[in-house]
Chain A
Amino acid sequence: MDKYDLAHATVREILTEMKDISEIMVDLAYASIMFDSEEIAEEVQNLEEDMEELSKSIRTKAMLSARTHKDAAKLSSLLEVAAASRRISNAAGDIVKLMECEVDKRPFLTFILREAEEKIKRLVLADASDMVGRQIGDLGVESETGMRIIAIKRGKRWIYDPEEENKLKAGDTLIVRGTDDGFDVLRSFANGEEKWPVYPDEEEEED
């Protein structure tokens, strides 16, 4: 995740960041339960703290930017949206608190999460995969397979919500979210069975 420069960030940037973080937190929270990972749970708690900072910052900035009554009214609903993101992040924080429950009381949760519409799964990147050495954004993993990489475990290290520029390495464990068939497609690329598709006539999209 970007370390944002909060002092200079705009209201728009902070709101985007809050939306992104709140969503990745929910995914990570379910992933922590699914894979019984204290480490992922800890990251969710860290993100919850980041959210608090963002939340304070967006309020201050919004207040400073209101010049008229109308401005203030519109900004106050923008702050409602920010507050809702924060609420989602608190809920994610509550979900990881379930990790404190006795381990043998949780297996049914894993079982339930396996049946969800969009699932959280993991796979390992094989040496033979042509995804190895390439950037996530460059591959367009999510647009190609519908699977979002929510975390990567590389050796002992975790990378949460990896950036587009992040290069994949052989042996990486990817924690992903999406549909079953999306997972099958991604797995066939990740174990080297299928070649990552190349679109020769691909054009750079304009911003």
Chain B
Amino acid sequence: MDQLDEMLLELKDSSELMIDLAYSSLLYNNKEIAEEVILMEEMLDELANDIQRQAIARAMQDRDEGKAFTVIKLAAAVEEISDAAMQIAMVTIHDDEPHPVIRLSIKDADTTITLAEIKPGSDLIGKSLGKMRLASQSGMWVVAVKRDRKYLYGPEKNAVLELGDVVISRGPPDAEKYFQDLCSGEERLEEP
């Protein structure tokens, strides 16, 4: 992958994280997470601009407008997704308390968001997300971790969970309970 490809990939992955964070902010009426979405949106705006500029520069150099056209179109579409995430986050920021139906709707969806604290005795303590294959084991994808007062957004595979972390994750409603129980220590991770 060259630099332009990597930038596009980052744009795509970040736009999806933003959607998850935006819904998390709504569900938990969490203005801090909503603010992060706004910040990310600004960063992605810049990133999308850079991508589009580079694509044009390259097209001029290689005399190949086809690829540049595709890149520019895709970057614009993905940026639109990040704008949508910001639109959701704005609701969290502007409302004292979002409409209760919004929360119910998120909870009813095929993909929902859940939050759990890592309690003593949890199997998740001290292991990295990638190593314990948390996503495939639990069906839940971690979108943010709150440690002390700080948030870690979109943690990497090598991020290690600690006692007391509050983990926000996304997945199917039927995976929620197992995930909660893993965090509380009531359930064990399966040996790989």
List A residues at the B interface (Cβ < 8 Å): 11-13, 15-16, 19-20, 23-24, 26, 74-75, 77-78, 80-81, 83-85, 87-88, 90-92, 94-95, 97-98, 101-102, 104-106, 108-109, 111-113, 115-118, 137, 140, 142-148, 161, 178-179, 181-182, 185, 205
Interchain CB contact under 8 A, A23 and B174: no
Contact among B84, B90, B104 with A91 in the assembled complex (CB-CB below 8 Å) = B84
Given contacts A143-B174, A145-B139, A146-B136, contact A80 B70 (CB under 8 A): no
Interchain CB contact under 8 A, B8 and A112: yes
B21 within 8 A of A: no
Using CB atoms, name the residue of chain A closest to B172: A142
Contact among B74, B104, B106, B178 with A98 in the assembled complex (CB-CB below 8 Å) = B74
Interchain CB contact under 8 A, B174 and A85: no
Residues of B within 8 Å of A108, CB to CB, are 5, 67, 70
B42 within 8 A of A: no
Using CB atoms, name the residue of chain B closest to A105: B66
Given contacts A84-B84, A142-B175, contact A94 B95 (CB under 8 A): no
Given contacts A108-B5, A111-B1, A140-B174, contact A178 B80 (CB under 8 A): no
Contact among B12, B88, B94 with A116 in the assembled complex (CB-CB below 8 Å) = B12
Interchain CB contact under 8 A, A19 and B105: yes
Interchain CB contact under 8 A, A15 and B105: yes
Contact among A24, A78, A140 with B99 in the assembled complex (CB-CB below 8 Å) = A78
Give, as a whole number of angstroms, the nearest-CB distance from B4 to chain A.
9
Interchain CB contact under 8 A, B172 and A87: no
Interchain CB contact under 8 A, A77 and B99: yes
A142 to B137, CA, bound (A): 10
Residues of B within 8 Å of A24, CB to CB, are 110
List B residues at the A interface (Cβ < 8 Å): 1, 5, 8-9, 12-13, 16, 19, 22-23, 26, 66-67, 69-70, 73-74, 76-78, 80-81, 83-85, 87-88, 90-91, 94-95, 98-99, 101-102, 104-106, 108-111, 133, 135-141, 171-172, 174-175, 177-178
Interchain CB contact under 8 A, B102 and A143: no
Residues of A within 8 Å of B73, CB to CB, are 94, 97-98, 101
Give, as a whole number of angstroms, the nearest-CB distance from B32 to chain A.
19
Residues of B within 8 Å of A91, CB to CB, are 77-78, 80-81, 84
Interchain CB contact under 8 A, A12 and B74: no
Given contacts A78-B99, A81-B88, A108-B5, contact A87 B70 (CB under 8 A): no
Interchain CB contact under 8 A, B70 and A178: no
Given contacts A98-B73, A98-B74, contact A115 B88 (CB under 8 A): no
Residues of B within 8 Å of A182, CB to CB, are 133, 135-136
Residues of B within 8 Å of A92, CB to CB, are 77
